[in-house]
Structure 1
Amino acid sequence: MEARLDTFASPVARKVVGHLAATTKPLIDAGLPLTVQELVKIRASQINGCGFCTDMHTKDAAKAGETAVRLNLVAAWREATVFTDAERAALELTEQGTRIADASGGVTDEAWTDAANHFDEEQLAALASLIAVINAFNRLNVITRQPAGSYEPGMFG
């Protein structure tokens, strides 16, 4: 598949992507665990059918030490025994926040409360922001048909 638009060559897209990428530093500063961040990015990307981001974030997670077993089970996290309760809460919030148009009323109070039982207020803010940002990246890549498979960790900085 060939991309419809080279988002790295377009000055407008490059600026937007740069601004979106810059939003990730506060996530680390808020203390949201890197493992949770990668699981969230992978799950949202799977739901949105964004091969580019799924490729990127599974490879980044593996490089950071994530196991193949856990990476292979992200899509089936409900049935898997390899995720912590905090990770499960983050994955549920990710699914509801990504499928927001499918849910009547958006994210349920139950999903939010479960996440709040595992993350403090700053981490919750980071988690909600991360879900929004990865969904924006997914949509840009799906709209422009960014091909998947050639990403190498460290490629973008």
Structure 2
Amino acid sequence: MEARLDLFANPVAGKILKHFTAAGKAAAEAGLPESTRELVLLRASQINGCGFCVDMHTKDAAHAGETAQRLHLVAAWREATVFTDAERAALELTEQATRIADAAGGVPDEVWADAAKHFDENQLVALVAAIATINAFNRINVMVQQPAGWYRPGQFA
């Protein structure tokens, strides 16, 4: 499979995507644990069917020390015993925000309150930004049919 557009070679795409990437780096500096961030990025990508991002964030998480067991269980996090309460709150917020059109009124108050119990304001901003940014990246990659499997950790650093 070949992508409909080569986003990595197009100068306009490069200008746009560098802002998305900068937002992700700023969010990383807010104190949200990297493991939580990668789990969130992976879960949203799974929901959105973005093979490129599933590949990328699985590899990035593993490269950062995440265990294979936890990565394999992200899609079934509710049934798994390997996630902390904070990670569960982040994953629930991710699912609700990614599927925002499915629920009248958006993210339920109890989901937000649970996340707010585990993360300070800066971490919540980082979590919201990570969820919003990965959803944008997922949609871009799905639209252009970005193929999965070729990414290597650190490739876009």
TM-score w.r.t. the length of structure 2 is 0.98
Q: CA RMSD in A?
A: 0.7
Cα distance in 2, alignment partners of residues 29 and 71 from structure 1: 23
**3-state SS, counterpart of residue 23 of structure 1:** helix
Cα deviation for residue 7 of structure 1 reads 0.4
Count of aligned pairs between the two proteins: 157
C-alpha contact (below 8 Å) 2:40/2:131 kept by paired residues: yes
Counterparts of 1:71-110 in structure 2 under 5 Å?
71-110=71-110
Cα distance in 1, alignment partners of residues 31 and 25 from structure 2: 10
Gaps of 5+ in 2: none
Counterparts of 1:143-154 in structure 2 under 5 Å?
143-154=143-154
Partner of 2:115: 115
TM-score w.r.t. the length of structure 1 is 0.98
C-alpha contact (below 8 Å) 2:24/2:129 kept by paired residues: no
Cα distance in 1, alignment partners of residues 62 and 124 from structure 2: 24
Cα deviation for residue 13 of structure 1 reads 1.1
Cα distance in 2, alignment partners of residues 63 and 138 from structure 1: 21
Q: Percent identity at matched positions? A: 72
**3-state SS, counterpart of residue 100 of structure 2:** coil
**3-state SS, counterpart of residue 52 of structure 2:** helix
Gaps of 5+ in 1: none
Runs of 4+ in 1 over 2 A off after TM superposition: none
Cα deviation for residue 28 of structure 1 reads 2.1
**3-state SS, counterpart of residue 55 of structure 1:** helix
Partner of 2:31: 31
Asked whether 1:140 is paired with 2:157, we answer no
Partner of 1:9: 9
